[in-house]
Structure 1
């Protein structure tokens, strides 16, 4: 290759890398916007009767409309058993099964997108991770040691114990918010918020909010990752569907360039390991990435750490045949 040809190619490579960098940054902004929007929806859905079950009225609300199964009409003798059974089938089981099927299909094809892009709990996980990392150098109290003091772009990350003054209050505030919101899914929101702001909560309401706040505070502080990885049924079913599909989207790793990971950050550390909110190693086989939330932070970290590498990042999302080849590359590497 001539010198002139090389000069023409290098700017093209640099331009493609810049486009990829902008795309990943834009993706993370879109993900944060989606998380924020869904968190607000989680809070406001009961207020506008978009989705909740009213224990006082004895029926559900959906998209601002009362949602009855017709059981009361059956017990009152206004409809027969056949019509009551059809109502239960069409108004309860059919919507549940259709929604579950669509949910599992998305997970089968793309993984735990709900967890990484929408789930209100995972939003809290990431928020407390960042605060705890600033306070202690560890994203979780169960981390074996402090993470290397570097950002993915190589800049130093500072630790300050004063951030603990925000970690605990933030966890309690999130827990209190969740407790109140959960109660509005069961009781009229106007009653709950009216009693809360007026200081006139009933004994049961105060007990519900108090107990849930304590339990969720402990979960947010000590067990948020453990819950996502081992206790969340919604996440588990998504992971099972995703792992069963060999063509599903997965983080691909260029194993032939694995040596470059050793120089990713100072002290021979890898940026992708540092940023994963689920504390996974993104450069691993799919079954060891069982709880991956497809948040894409490892891809962005790899891109930032390899920004000066003309070959580009080592991680990228792959699917279909590329996903199969990625997994085959891991097996081949282990058999050698």
Structure 2
């Protein structure tokens, strides 16, 4: 067990008046949390291992011929676990992203900052990758503090160089994996085989991400959670006294005293402070810096077991329960959040079902709205067909609407073949004898998948021509042309 006496003058008593990472003179105090063992720590490490495994594996897992998650920005196609979204379908992503964000708020109202301590990518990489590397190279918390205070020597240069060199390598690996989500592993490997000058944009992204990750995890660390993360600021608005958070049982723990005294259960060993990744004292109550990682729970339980006292002096509980009351999970805000969450899920499911594997659109070609030559009236349109399936398709294009009998069509004669996730444009020329044109009329193009039952229609197009009233020899009234 680590005692305060082993830590020296760098140990600061956490208070509610200032951040634990700031010294009295305003300088930065580097936090070196002690290692801890226990059930929650073990569960967190296994969950972190699973999450890191998922992050690494998703670009490798093929679903319908594409990686499980592949944000193909170049081709404007976005693949999510077999669901492919074209640029025109990104409105569905609004419901997905807002739904995930609201789910996070919902979990927070029930269980506090459980996300921060257990599943946040920043916490996962910081606590279970970078700080593990630091412990392996520089030793436990006491050894790391002594190394901080020690003068520069060959031994210190070697350990610091090895640690930071490993940080850079790990940051580069994470950055490359992140890039593979946007270019695919195959393209990433091809890029890595060639010189950076052939793909400067991707190379610049990797360099930027590597530098940012190295800076964040080697120096900025817990300050991101305390200073920059907006989610921590929302905690007080999302939780209430019935939210399950990490708390200290003052009724049982106070007054604090030494082992063998007749005081409360807390012996003021400060073990909960020593293991905290943000350097707070949980005995001061729920604080913004607390990320709900439960390290202090395992640390306190370990001390209680050694003293043969009941565990749970620091535990997951609500402030109401810690004060002697009963936690109420069903309360007005939870009912409201549940209703909104179900509404959001319904909106997402409905919007996802509106995604069609075939899309057709049309626009009038640039230039005059119509052309008149040799007694023939001509309109020109551009028809665009998108195959959003991961397989090739054959399509038939045909006109639909209230069409004149002598209307001739050019551009719809051939069968259209599209590769997977491909698109093509067809020039559609509509011709009509001038004598047969009486007024403008509406029509549209119907696209039918010849191998499946899918079909799509363009929006209505209007066939335009000269105003028939211009053919009359009667004097024109300007009011006739007012729309």
TM-score by length of 1: 0.67
Aligned alpha-carbon RMSD (Å): 3.3
* Counterpart residue number, 2:215: 218
- C-alpha distance in 1, partners of 2:233/2:141? 26
- C-alpha distance in 2, partners of 1:103/1:138? 33
Q: CA deviation at 1:211?
A: 2.4
Larger relative contact order (C-alpha < 8 A, sep ≥ 6)? 1
Q: CA deviation at 1:274?
A: 0.6
**Does the Cα contact within 8 Å between 2:249 and 2:314 map onto a contact in 1?**
yes
Q: Taking structure 1 as reference, are residues 257 and 64 closer, same or farther at Cα in structure 2, changes over 3 Å only?
A: same
Deviations 1:95-129 (A, max 9, x none): 22222221210111112222221223212222433
- C-alpha distance in 2, partners of 1:234/1:44? 27
Q: How do residues 75-154 of structure 1 correspond to structure 2 at under 5 angstroms?
A: 88=91, 91-126=92-127, 127-132=129-134, 135=138, 138=141
**Does the Cα contact within 8 Å between 1:132 and 1:163 map onto a contact in 2?**
no
Q: CA deviation at 1:234?
A: 4.6
Equivalent residue in structure 2 for 1:308, among 299, 306, 315: 306
Deviations 1:252-311 (A, max 9, x none): 3232534557669xx96411111111222121222xx22322221111111112223343
Which sections of structure 1, spanning at least 5 residues, go unmatched? 1-23, 72-86, 148-159, 327-336
SS of 1:103's partner is helix
* Counterpart residue number, 2:288: 290
**Does the Cα contact within 8 Å between 2:40 and 2:295 map onto a contact in 1?**
no
Q: How do residues 225-244 of structure 1 correspond to structure 2 at under 5 angstroms?
A: 225-237=222-234, 239-242=235-238, 244=239
- C-alpha distance in 1, partners of 2:256/2:190? 59
Q: Taking structure 1 as reference, are residues 240 and 217 closer, same or farther at Cα in structure 2, changes over 3 Å only?
A: same
**Does the Cα contact within 8 Å between 2:59 and 2:70 map onto a contact in 1?**
yes
- C-alpha distance in 2, partners of 1:135/1:228? 24
- C-alpha distance in 2, partners of 1:50/1:204? 24
* Counterpart residue number, 2:74: 56
* Counterpart residue number, 1:185: 181
Larger Rg: 2
- C-alpha distance in 2, partners of 1:261/1:41? 46
Q: Taking structure 1 as reference, are residues 252 and 199 closer, same or farther at Cα in structure 2, changes over 3 Å only?
A: same
Whether 1:37 and 2:50 are equivalent positions in the alignment is yes
SS of 2:216's partner is helix
Q: Which structure carries more strand by proportion?
A: 2
Q: Taking structure 1 as reference, are residues 308 and 29 closer, same or farther at Cα in structure 2, changes over 3 Å only?
A: closer
- C-alpha distance in 1, partners of 2:179/2:204? 11
**Does the Cα contact within 8 Å between 2:133 and 2:163 map onto a contact in 1?**
yes
- C-alpha distance in 1, partners of 2:295/2:258? 19
Q: Taking structure 1 as reference, are residues 116 and 304 closer, same or farther at Cα in structure 2, changes over 3 Å only?
A: same
- C-alpha distance in 2, partners of 1:249/1:191? 46
SS of 1:292's partner is coil
Which sections of structure 2, spanning at least 5 residues, go unmatched? 1-36, 62-66, 148-154, 261-266, 326-483
**Does the Cα contact within 8 Å between 1:28 and 1:296 map onto a contact in 2?**
yes
Equivalent residue pairs, number = 264
* Counterpart residue number, 1:194: 190
Larger displacement relative to structure 2 (275-284 or 125-134): 125-134
Q: CA deviation at 1:172?
A: 1.3
SS of 2:291's partner is coil
**Does the Cα contact within 8 Å between 1:51 and 1:63 map onto a contact in 2?**
yes
Q: CA deviation at 1:249?
A: 1.1
Whether 1:208 and 2:241 are equivalent positions in the alignment is no
* Counterpart residue number, 2:317: 318
- C-alpha distance in 1, partners of 2:257/2:55? 39
**Does the Cα contact within 8 Å between 2:114 and 2:291 map onto a contact in 1?**
yes
Whether 1:65 and 2:72 are equivalent positions in the alignment is no
- C-alpha distance in 2, partners of 1:324/1:234? 27
